[in-house]
Amino acid sequence: SAQEAGQVLPPQPASLKIVNRQITGYVGFANLPKQWHRKSVRRGFNLNVLCVGRTGLGKTTLINSLFNENFSDTGVRSGETPDGNDQSLDEDTLGDKNSQVGGAVSMRNTVKIETQSKTIEENGVKLKLTLIDAAGFGDAIDNTDSWKPVLSEINSRFDHYLDQENRINRTKIEDNRVHVCLYFIEPTGHYLKPLDLEFCSQVHDKCNLIPVISKSDILSDEEIELFKSRISNQLREHGVTLFRPPVYKMDDNETIQTSKTLYEKMPYAVVGSNSFVKDPNNPELMVRGREYPWGIIEVENSNHSDFNLLRDLLIKQYLEELRERTAHELYENYRSKKLISLGIKQDNSVFKEFDPNTRQEEEKRLHEAKLAKLESEMKTVFQQKVTEKEKKLQKSETELFARHKEMKDKLTKQLKALEEKKHQLELSLANPSTSSPVPQKKKGFLR
Ligand code: GTP
């Protein structure tokens, strides 16, 4: 060939034609999926699920039912060490620390982010599942800003990933990004509330949003249908996009149909349970379900709820798609917006050339932005401390004044009494016959 002969090849034309060829004989790359499979199993998978909804809507129960696990109601709060020492100073994220004692309804926003992780295994495949719970969401009297701490949690997880990518050693990047957000809708059968719409509008372009109607066993089938269509209309009117299972060219009709059904059935009307009941069709078997005087609701029975659809989408069919969309679409959007906001220009050409100067500049700006953030946080803390100290000083000053006044009054009284005595004595000295004998000095008189 020309190359072998040491000749320089002319540049390839722009409209290079790629021909797909069927090779005869076995080369070996048909084995690639198997290699990929082995590698994936060895590495394991992870899924970070954000659960948002009012307290008691059955979030933990649903997660336990989905993953056959036993998560408890309280996890580790963001900015808090597992032993409970609060390290975060971000008031917005932590909300009001003194409120919500004894289940009292708080006036202010009280959302606290709690996380729990577990590694679960099925047929040798390991999945690290992290449950992120926005505890207290929508529970205050004024819930106007309830969505803010949740959004800032999603963003800070993106930021953390971005920081890791910019480190010198990038071999072990931990993916803490939110892969899916399950939004729990109260089973009212009416319409979505303003808070539901506000939340969905705020987060839909930051995470894969999947709304669920929780505790749907309290609604009849007709009520569920009507509620679902109202919810879908409201979300559409507010421009909210939900996670849509993707369809590829090579997919067969069945896969295409499944993907369509899974999307159309949203929001899923689900039922969860932490207990097991006797299977009505086979009393020897125990199934996850809820027992009522009028019968049994089986969690995994497709005639009773949409639980199986949610599990198919979340775990069985589209877990990897949820992760992939998070990484390639949602995170990429966030990343480029963030870099642009820092003044770093994006190169849109497909083949980006590595420019060490640009890279250095990019890292410098990121570092400066981090420093600025840190500085502003430190300033806030400093300001808080100064205000606290000033308040304390003011208090002790007032107390000192009060004590001073009290002492002064006491002394004035004593002075008056002494003057009175002096006057009496002078009178008795001037007129000894009429006066009574001089009183003896009382012990402790001047005290
Ligand atoms: P917090 O963690 O406190 O925010 O609550 P949660 O949203 O995690 O709710 P949790 O799972 O603790 O469930 C609250 C109560 O609702 C429990 O008594 C559950 O048994 C019950 N519950 C959960 N899921 C369902 C359901 O699908 N239907 C009915 N009827 N009750 C449910």
Distance 186 CA to ligand 1 centre (A): 11
Distance 282 CA to ligand 1 centre (A): 27
215 Cβ below 6 A of ligand 1: yes
Residue 319 has what pLDDT? 92
Distance 74 CA to ligand 1 centre (A): 13
pLDDT digits (tens, 9 = 90+) for 373-384: 889 889 989 999
Can you read off the two tokens belonging to residue 276? 């097991």
Geometric angle at alpha carbon 226, from 304 and 316, rounded to 5°: 45
Beta strands in 234-357 (DSSP E): 268-269, 276-279, 282-292, 295-298
For 13-47, letters b (16+ CB in 10 Å) and e give: eeeeeeeeeeeeeeeeeeeeeeeeeeeeeeeeebb
Distance 111 CA to ligand 1 centre (A): 18
Can you read off the two tokens belonging to residue 386? 């100064």
57 Cβ below 6 A of ligand 1: yes
Residue 123 has what pLDDT? 83
288 Cβ below 6 A of ligand 1: no
Distance 215 CA to ligand 1 centre (A): 8
Residue 347 has what pLDDT? 58
Residue 183 has what pLDDT? 96
Q: How confident is the model at residue 96 (pLDDT cuts 50, 70, 90)?
A: very low
Q: Is the ipTM of this complex over 0.90?
A: yes
| Atom of ligand 1 at shortest range from CA of 214 | 27
pLDDT digits (tens, 9 = 90+) for 255-272: 899 899 999 999 999 999
Q: Is the full-model pTM beyond 0.95?
A: no
What is the C-alpha to C-alpha distance for residues 229 and 242, in angstroms, rounded to an integer? 14
Residue 445 has what pLDDT? 46
Residue 244 has what pLDDT? 92
CA-nearest residue for atom 21, ligand 1, is: 58
266 Cβ below 6 A of ligand 1: no
- The type of residue at 85 is N
Residues, the chain:
447
291 Cβ below 6 A of ligand 1: no
pLDDT digits (tens, 9 = 90+) for 5-59: 455 555 666 677 788 777 777 777 778 888 888 888 888 889 999 999 998 999 9
Residue 438 has what pLDDT? 52
59 Cβ below 6 A of ligand 1: yes
Residue 75 has what pLDDT? 54
304 Cβ below 6 A of ligand 1: no
61 Cβ below 6 A of ligand 1: yes
Q: For residues 68-96, give the mean pLDDT.
A: 49
Highest mean pLDDT among 68-72, 133-137, 260-264: 260-264
CA-nearest residue for atom 22, ligand 1, is: 58
Residue 137: DSSP 8-state: T
CA-nearest residue for atom 26, ligand 1, is: 215
Whether the pLDDT of residue 178 is over 80: the answer is yes
Is the CB of residue 206 less than 8 Å from the CB of residue 334? yes
306 Cβ below 6 A of ligand 1: no
Q: Which domains does the chain have, with CATH numbers?
A: 34-270+305-347 (3.40.50.300)
What is the C-alpha to C-alpha distance for residues 266 and 259, in angstroms, rounded to an integer? 12
CA-nearest residue for atom 5, ligand 1, is: 56
CA-nearest residue for atom 28, ligand 1, is: 215
Closest by Cα among 112, 103, 114, 40 to 74: 114
Q: What is the mean pLDDT of the chain?
A: 82
Whether the pLDDT of residue 97 is over 60: the answer is no
| Atom of ligand 1 at shortest range from CA of 271 | 27
| Atom of ligand 1 at shortest range from CA of 270 | 27
In angstroms, what CA-CA distances link 88 with 77, 287, 382? Answer: 10, 42, 14
Distance 390 CA to ligand 1 centre (A): 46
Highest mean pLDDT among 120-129, 221-230, 277-286: 221-230
| Atom of ligand 1 at shortest range from CA of 73 | 2
As a whole-number percent, the residues of the chain with pLDDT over 70 amount to: 83
CA-nearest residue for atom 29, ligand 1, is: 215
Whether the pLDDT of residue 245 is over 50: the answer is yes
| Atom of ligand 1 at shortest range from CA of 53 | 7
Which of 57, 60, 61, 219 is the best mutation target for the ligand 1 pocket, counting ligand atoms within 8 Å of the beta carbon and taking the most?
Answer: 61
Q: Are strands 295-298 and 282-292 parallel, antiparallel or unpaired?
A: antiparallel
Distance 402 CA to ligand 1 centre (A): 54
| Atom of ligand 1 at shortest range from CA of 273 | 24
Whether the pLDDT of residue 162 is over 70: the answer is yes
The better pLDDT of the pair 100, 304 is held by 304
| Atom of ligand 1 at shortest range from CA of 272 | 27
